[in-house]
Amino acid sequence: MKSETVIDNRPVKVQVSHLTKYFGSLHVLDDVSFDIKKGEFVCVVGPTGCGKTTFLNLLTKIYEPSEGELRIDGELADPKKHNLAFVFQEPSALPWLTVEDNLRFGLKIKKLPKEEIERRVDRILKLLGLEEFRKAYPGQLSTSTEQRVIIGRAFAMEPDLLLMDEPYGQMDIKLRFYLEDEVLRLWREIGTTVVFITHNIEEAVYLSEKVLILSNKPATIKEELKNNLPYPRDIASREFVEMRKHITEQIKWW
Amino acid sequence: MDKKTKTKKRDKLGRGQNASAYTYAMLSFAGVMAFLIIWQLLLVAGIVSDRYLAKPTELVVLFVQKFSDPAPDGATLLVSIWASLRVSLTGLILAIVIGVPLGLCMGWFKALDRLVTPIFEIIRPIPPVSWIPLTILWMGIGLRAKAFIIFFSAFIPCVINSYTGVKLTNKTLINVARTSGASYVETFYKVAIPSALTMVFTGIRVAVGNAWSTLVAAEMLAASAGLGYMILMGRMFARADIIILGMLVIGAIGAFFNGILSFVENHVIKWR
């Protein structure tokens, strides 16, 4: 496999420092700091209800942090300036737009030139094999195809930072395996920086280059774990199982 | 092959089985025909006096005749229809043009919501028909007065449904736009309005119904022409046939409006 996983000299893309969030008196996040390298695939795992989604919403600036800051390329993150994309937990295709218009949605908001929009849309459609559904509405698609459209829409933004919040939470195992490979393929093809939140440890080990393990509420980073296993990963290999066990141990709060 | 003949044989509209579209169409047609025939027979046999009801066949004749004959209410059918349509469409279109955008904006912009909603909540429960006396006092019984009453009856469902439609916009979809960097106003027209469209159309549908029923009430109280007026005259002259014809034409036009609306709706809301 590529040697880049061994010596990682990619520049730092996202810098999170001392991120803290209170909702009234509820302390959700406590002094979270970490870096993400350009093009890195980071998975965030943690016990249920530890504030994973809050964490992500802070990164997208849906919430403002109580303390701390998020910098992208050294600048304070701002959805208007930076290119952020989000795949939400629930299906979020815009039902009144066709598949191709869904893919165009964010690009039009960013006011990219028309040729560039078309180039990217065509590329994503081809990468995902969705050409035949180009003119279809999300309501006419199966759940998994709709989810692929949403993931495609996020990648089409070629974002500085792509945030995914348990995008496969509701799916059965077959679809999940399929879509996990799909996401890896897009990630490698487009070179996006990804933060992927999941409660599925196996998924985290399968996908990530780095795993952030969050503690119970108020969440801090319990461990930052490098994952150098070569892609494509064998979920039955000894190293894979060991890493999975290790993360499971770390997450246990009972 | 065997199976095919079997299903064909069992095609008797039993539970869980489907007949052809033709059979269903004929069933609906037979229902209407049976209704008309029973109606006709009741009158022919003298079970119901023709002082109370007119025969369907007579209504057909009257319908044709009314195209040229202004008696007894003083206007031919087309003139009456035109008078009613003019009033109702004026009121209805004004209601849609003002009500829908107002409702949409009220749903999205909090300041406007707080400013307008209280007034709206006070006026809303007043039945549109109860505005008639005041309107006559202000504007007499002309087109303007009736259009105003109809405007009122149609305006309210337009506003409420547009408002609710925006309020019900899926938060996730709003976040999709916001995280892509869309401004508040851009999110409004790119997400909230399309998402509210289904509700808006339901509102317009209710508005059309309201406008049409209020129209008849308004014309029966204060008018010199129109379908409601024709019905009223039918009562004065004890002509059951005129009344029924008026009712049927009102019903037919209402159904026609609904058809147009469904057509437009299916073309605007293509994603369903």
Interface of B with A in 133-172 (CB under 8 A): 170, 172
Substitution target in B169, B176, B189 with the highest count of A β-carbons within 10 Å is B176
Query: Shortest Cα distance from B34 to chain A (angstroms)?
Result: 41
Stronger pLDDT, A239 or B158, i.e. the higher one: B158
Taking an 8 Å Cβ-Cβ cutoff, which residues of chain A contact chain B? 60-62, 79-81, 83-86, 88, 90, 92, 94-97, 105-106, 109-110, 137-139, 157
Least confident of A216-230, B131-145, B251-265: A216-230
Residue B196 confidence (pLDDT): 93
Render pLDDT for B181-212 as a digit per residue (tens, 0 to 9).
888 999 998 999 999 999 999 999 999 988 88
**Domain residues for B109?**
65-268
Task: Please tell me the distance from the alpha carbon of residue A5 to that of residue A208, in angstroms, as a whole number.
Answer: 11
SS3 category, B55: coil
Query: Shortest Cα distance from B109 to chain A (angstroms)?
Result: 19
Q: Is B267 on the interface with A (CB under 8 A)?
A: no
Task: Please tell me the distance from the alpha carbon of residue B253 to that of residue A229, in angstroms, as a whole number.
Answer: 72
Q: Taking CA atoms, what residue in B is nearest to A138?
A: B271
SS3 category, B272: coil
Contacts of B168 in chain A (CB under 8 A): none
Residue B14 confidence (pLDDT): 58
CATH number of A1-82+160-167+194-254: 3.40.50.300
| CATH number of the domain where residue B104 is located | 1.10.3720.10
Provide the number of structural domains found in chain B: 2
Q: Taking CA atoms, what residue in B is nearest to A154?
A: B180
B185 and B89 inside one domain: yes
Please give the structure tokens belonging to residue B156.
């309210």
Stronger pLDDT, A237 or B97, i.e. the higher one: B97
Query: Shortest Cα distance from A172 to chain B (angstroms)?
Result: 22
B93 part of a folded domain:
yes
B116 and B210 inside one domain: yes
Asked whether the beta carbons of residue B181 and residue A90 sit closer than 8 angstroms, the reply is no
B59 part of a folded domain:
no
Give the residue among B69, B61, B76 at the shortest CA–CA distance from B225: B76
β-pairing, A26-37 vs A41-45, is unpaired
Task: Please tell me the distance from the alpha carbon of residue A224 to that of residue A93, in angstroms, as a whole number.
Answer: 33
pTM above 0.95, yes or no: no
**Contacts for B123 with CB less than 8 Å, ≥ 6 apart:** B156
Helix residue ranges per DSSP H, chain B: 2-9, 21-44, 56-65, 77-108, 110-123, 132-139, 143-167, 171-179, 184-187, 193-221, 227-236, 240-268
Task: Please tell me the distance from the alpha carbon of residue B103 to that of residue A217, in angstroms, as a whole number.
Answer: 42
Render pLDDT for B213-237 as a digit per residue (tens, 0 to 9).
888 888 877 677 888 888 888 888 8
Is the pLDDT score of B16 beyond 80? no
Q: Is there a contact between B201 and B268 (Cβ–Cβ < 8 Å)?
A: yes
Asked whether the beta carbons of residue A79 and residue B180 sit closer than 8 angstroms, the reply is yes
Residue A9 confidence (pLDDT): 74
Render pLDDT for A216-231 as a digit per residue (tens, 0 to 9).
777 777 777 787 777 7
**Contacts for B239 with CB less than 8 Å, ≥ 6 apart:** B72, B233
Q: Taking CA atoms, what residue in A is nearest to B198?
A: A96
Least confident of A93-97, A99-103, A144-148, A166-170: A166-170
Task: Please tell me the distance from the alpha carbon of residue A229 to that of residue A205, in angstroms, as a whole number.
Answer: 9
B104 and B11 inside one domain: no
Is the pLDDT score of A3 beyond 70? no
Contacts of A84 in chain B (CB under 8 A): 179-181
B53 part of a folded domain:
no
- The residue ranges of every structural domain in chain A are 1-82+160-167+194-254, 84-158
Q: Is there a contact between B265 and B201 (Cβ–Cβ < 8 Å)?
A: yes
Task: Please tell me the distance from the alpha carbon of residue B103 to that of residue B90, in angstroms, as a whole number.
Answer: 20
B9 and B94 inside one domain: no
Q: Is B271 on the interface with A (CB under 8 A)?
A: yes
B73 and B42 inside one domain: no
Asked whether the beta carbons of residue A84 and residue B179 sit closer than 8 angstroms, the reply is yes
Q: Is there a contact between A197 and A165 (Cβ–Cβ < 8 Å)?
A: yes
Query: Shortest Cα distance from B211 to chain A (angstroms)?
Result: 29
Asked whether the beta carbons of residue B172 and residue A88 sit closer than 8 angstroms, the reply is yes
B231 and B157 inside one domain: yes
Residue B222 confidence (pLDDT): 67
Q: Is B191 on the interface with A (CB under 8 A)?
A: yes
B225 part of a folded domain:
yes
Mean pLDDT of the region A97-122: 89
B80 and B36 inside one domain: no
Mean pLDDT of the region B94-123: 91
Q: Which amino acid is at B79?
A: V
**What residues are paired with A161 via a beta bridge?**
A84
B103 and B217 inside one domain: yes
